[in-house]
Amino acid sequence: MKNTVVDVTFLGTGGAFSAGRRSNLALLIEAGDFRMLVESGPMIMHQLTRARIQATEIAQIFVSHSHGDHTLGFPMLALNRLWDPPPLHVYAAVSTVASLKALLELAYPGFGDDRFNLHWHELPEQESGEIELTKDVTLRTAVVPHPLGVPTLAARWDLAGGPSLTFVTDTSPNDAAVALARGSDLLIHEASFSAVLQPDVDVSQYFHSTAQQAGEIARRSGCPSLALVHLGSEIGERPDALAEEARAGADLHVIVPEDGERVRLDNWERSKRES
């Protein structure tokens, strides 16, 4: 894959309790003919429509875990692919695949995988995983902490001869995320809380992270750029404060994207950093 340009569209940037302009977290990763949806929360069809993307244009999807703000839109995504749809390849942990299948059966019993043309790819939920999505794109995953009974995966996409990006959400700071993200061009990390704006909140009991902790993960993993997502409803209106908190005076490029915002990664930026 030469002259690789990767576009990341932040379809949604909020958490489970989002309100206002930030809808539930979802991403769209595009590079040439490669297009992959990340997460499928309750607003997914609205988010795709706003981005002018048809459900049938999605060939691959990654879902990090089974919680509703990441999965409840999946039946509607599948329904909007009826009438001789192209294949949709679903990548998720074993238990998350089971949850997605159950949601689909509850919403549209009897339709079956064949009618939706779904192809399931179960990823390990007890150890790291690696799978080739195309000849030029590799997906790597790592298990990250979340409440018991909810296996949660962080993900990394490496493009042959091009940039890489890592996605980490719904977890507290951990070494597995650092190892997975090491050397990525962009780290997309959750910031459900703010250490500065919410100093009295004990985030350790929530299995989520602050903007400050996300910045620390980026620095530890050597990522030059950080995007903060899965923002709590109380802090989502203060993007400048969150960026400053994550940056912490370091040489770290931090963005707090709005819903619908697009970020581009290309080889020129990568070569510039390596020169």
3-state DSSP assignment of residue 105 = helix
pLDDT average, residue stretch 235-260: 95
3-state DSSP assignment of residue 205 = helix
Tens of pLDDT, residues 63-109: 999 999 999 999 999 999 988 899 999 999 999 999 999 999 999 99
Residue 158 in this model has a pLDDT that exceeds 60: yes
| pLDDT of amino acid 234 | 85
Q: Grade residue 3 by pLDDT with cuts at 50, 70 and 90.
A: low
| pLDDT of amino acid 128 | 97
| pLDDT of amino acid 271 | 41
Residue 19 in this model has a pLDDT that exceeds 80: no
Separation between Cα atoms, residue 136 and residue 146, nearest integer Å: 31
Of 38-42, 144-148, 213-217, the poorest mean pLDDT is in 144-148
Domain borders along the chain are 5-274
| pLDDT of amino acid 118 | 96
Q: Grade residue 140 by pLDDT with cuts at 50, 70 and 90.
A: very high
User: CB neighbours of 268 closer than 8 A, spacing ≥ 6?
Assistant: none
Q: Grade residue 20 by pLDDT with cuts at 50, 70 and 90.
A: confident
Residue 253 in this model has a pLDDT that exceeds 60: yes
pLDDT above 90 as % of the chain = 86
pLDDT average, residue stretch 262-272: 67
Region for residue 37 given its phi and psi (left: phi exceeds 0; alpha: psi -120 to 50; beta: otherwise): beta
Residue 269 in this model has a pLDDT that exceeds 60: no
Superfamily for 5-274? Answer: Ribonuclease Z/Hydroxyacylglutathione hydrolase-like (3.60.15.10)
Q: Grade residue 268 by pLDDT with cuts at 50, 70 and 90.
A: very low
User: CB neighbours of 109 closer than 8 A, spacing ≥ 6?
Assistant: none
| pLDDT of amino acid 248 | 93
Rg (CA), the chain: 18
Mean pLDDT of the chain: 93
| pLDDT of amino acid 148 | 79
Contact 117, 108 (CB under 8 A): no
3-state DSSP assignment of residue 269 = helix
Contact 254, 228 (CB under 8 A): yes
